[in-house]
Amino acid sequence: MARGPLGELGALRPSPLVEQAAERLRERIACGAWPVGTKLPGETTLAASLGVGRSTVREALRALAGAGLVQPRQGAGVFVLATEPKEDWATQLRRAAVTDVYEVRMLIEVEAAHLAARRRTDEDVQALREALAGRRAAGRADNAAFVDADIALHTAVVAAAHNPVLTSLFTQFVPALRSGLIDMLDLLGLRTADPDHGDADHAALVDAVVAGEPERAGRTLRDELAATLERLRSV
């Protein structure tokens, strides 16, 4: 006699049962046993098949809902939404091409430079000047330390915009940016002849923000980032 999808679930081992139950259900969804749009069996049926309590099944289904795989519908049951879990923003950034990340970075950071030139405080001015000095000091260091100092300066510009959403977005871009920029410097040897690569552009950016000139700040940063993007595309 043919066995249905429930008959293939199998009882679970006594370790973290919620995680096991969620994984077993996820596997059945991924293999097509319950196609998209299908209503899952009830908690009692699933609990009996998995050899766990209904509360464990309930928590497992909640985990699957959080991953975007299923959706509970009041009074109707739980339905399959997708066969693969949705990726969160951080995961998408890790998987994205650094050039794609850089293009979005330009959109965010150029606007941040405009805002920073309008909103910078005395504390921001001091932080920007210290970050520029730190970038110059890192000219004597290796590529990783230099990139860290460069990102610290850009972080100070974003912080001076005083918009927590922009700050949060930029922070999430940093890991992907750091990796791509280090690779670029290593491969192209841009600092071999010029250890302080890009110093004039970054000094001009800080000067524009400190002077309260939004258009010049945005233009200076856009030109600097566009040049870097072209180099990244050549790697």
Give me 195's structure tokens.
Answer: 């250890």
State the Cα–Cα distance between residues 54 and 76, nearest whole angstrom.
17
**For residue 204, what are its two tokens?**
């001009």
Query: What is the identity of the amino acid at 146?
Result: F
Q: How far is it, in rounded angstroms, from Cα 190 to Cα 136?
A: 15
Per residue in 101-129, pLDDT (tens digit) is: 888 899 999 999 999 999 999 999 999 99
**40-86 tens-digit pLDDT:** 999 999 999 999 999 999 999 998 988 888 999 988 999 998 888 77
**Percent of the chain scoring above 90 in pLDDT:** 63
pLDDT range class, residue 9, cuts 50, 70, 90: low
pLDDT higher than threshold 60 for residue 1: no
Is residue 119 within 8 Å of 160, Cβ to Cβ? yes
Of residues 102 and 156, which shows the higher confidence score?
156
- Other Cβ atoms within 10 Å of 187 Cβ, number: 11
Give the pLDDT confidence score for residue 179 in this predicted structure.
87
How far apart CA 157 and CA 7 sit, in angstroms, is 59
Q: Residue 7: is its pLDDT beyond 50?
A: yes
Q: What are the tokens at 152?
A: 């610290």
Name which of 124, 118, 108, 121 is nearest 213 in CA terms.
118
